[in-house]
Structure 1
C-alpha cells in the first residue's frame, strides 16, 4: 500500500525525512484491534514536530505519520478514529492521563496510508451529516480545542475568550466552537486575511498579534507560546484562565510570575481529548451546525506540498489528505 513515512529527522529541513512508499505491507490488526480503510486524513503540526525531531525519539523511526483518520471499519461502517491510544483505567477514567498513552503515529503507524489499525474502542461512528473530509479534521485539532474550552476552561455563554494565532487548525476550531457556545470571542493574527476569516467565523474583533484588546478576557486559548505569552497574560482579567495546548513559537516564555500570583491568574495545560469528549463534540456540531474549516484537500501523493504550505504559514484551516482508493 501507499504510505507517507518519517524516515529521518531534521530541525532545518523536516521534509527531507518524509518519504512516500508504495510497497508498505497492509497492516494486520492485533487482538482487540481493527483495521480501518482510510478515506481521509489531515495534516497536523504534530507531524512536523516528528519530522523535526521534537518529542519523537529517532529510534521509533521509520513510522507512518498521520494522527487523524476517517474511513470504513472491517464491517463497512463509517467511522472516525479517536487518536489517543491509552487506557482510561490507568488515567483515572481519562486516557489522556495514562502515563503510557500515545497519539496515533507516535508509537504505532499512523493514518497517511491506505489502511491503519487501532484499538476497536478508538472507533467512533461517523454521523451521516458529516462528510469524510470534515470528519478527518476533528480527531486532533478540533477535540484539542473542545477540551481546552469546555473541559479545562469550562466556558459558558457570555464569557470573553481570546484565541491567539487565528488561522491554525486548533485556533480556527476554538473560535468556531466558542462562538457556538455563546462566548464573545477575540482573535489575533499577524495576517490581515486570517483576521478577516476570524471575523467571518463569528469573532467580535480580530486584532494584530500583540495589540491591546477592547476589554479584558475571562479565558485565553494559547497554542503559540513564547511570541504571544506576555500578551495572553496582559489580556486576562484578574482570576482568569490561560489554557495552553501547544507552543509553536517556543516553549520558554517569560514567566511574569508577579502578574500571575497578584492577579490570581490560572494556567492550565491541556493535551488531546478523551473518546467521550470526541462524542460530546459531535453532538455539539450536530446541534449548532458548526463545521471544520478546510483550506484544501490533496491526494496523498501531494503530501509534501501540503506540509510546505503549513511551514510557510499560508493556510487557513486544515489540509485534508486522500489516500488512493483500493483497486477493485
Structure 2
C-alpha cells in the first residue's frame, strides 16, 4: 500500500489503515514520519488512561468493563495492551483481545496488543506515536494496559493522563506494590475482585500509606470494583474524570503535555543516535578497528556524533 493510499484510507476511517500505520510505528519504518507530518492537521488529543498492576489482578476484565461503559456513554475507545516481554520476536500478548471479544464487531472500539518488534527500549516511543495516530483517527479515549512488570509500569505512567493501579485481596500484592514504589505513580487505586475476602484490609493498608504522603495536591482515591459483574465501574470512571479536572484546574495538564514532548524528543534523539552509530561502525572499518583495539565506546560514540552528516 502506497503512502498516499494509506493516508486516504486512514482519513476515510478504514480501521485496516490504522492497524497498518501502527504496525509501521512498531517496526520503526521511516515512512511513518511522513504520514505523521501529513496527519498533523487532523491532530486531536484523546484522553489517555493507564491500567497497571500485578498479573492476576483482573486488569483485562476491568478494562473490558470500562470500554463497555464508555460505549454506553457514546464515546469511542482504543485499547493498547503493551507487551515488553519479547523484544526479539516481536510477539505481543493476545489474551487481552480474546477477553474483549464482545467488542469485536464494534467499529468504535479498537484493540491492539503492542510489542517492541525487535527494538529494545522501543516500546515506549512506539506507544506514544500510536496514541497520536489514534487521536488523529478520531478516538475519544485511549486505554493503556501493561502486563505489570517493572519498567513498563513507569512507562505507562509517563504516557497516561491518569494512572490506575489495580490490586486484589488474594495475591498479597498490596505490600508488593508499595515496595515497588507504585504509590508514586498512582492517581487512582482500584481494589478489584472486591467480592473476595480481604478487600477491606487492602483498602485500609492503602489509606494508612497515603496518610503518610505529602498533604498538598491530588489525593489518589481508593475504590473497589468487581469488574466481572460491572460493579463499581462508573465510580472508577468518575474518579478518572475528577483527576482530569484537577489537572486542568491546577495547570498540570499543560505541564504534562510539555514534559511528554520533551521525553519523546529525547527518545527520538537517542534512537537516531543509535542508528547513526550502527551505520558508522558498519560502513567504516577503520573506526570499528579502533573501537575493537582501544575498547573506548564512549570516545567512539562522541566521534560519531561529532561527524557532519
TM-score by length of 1: 0.28
Between Structure 1 and Structure 2, the one with more helix by share is 2
TM-score by length of 2: 0.29
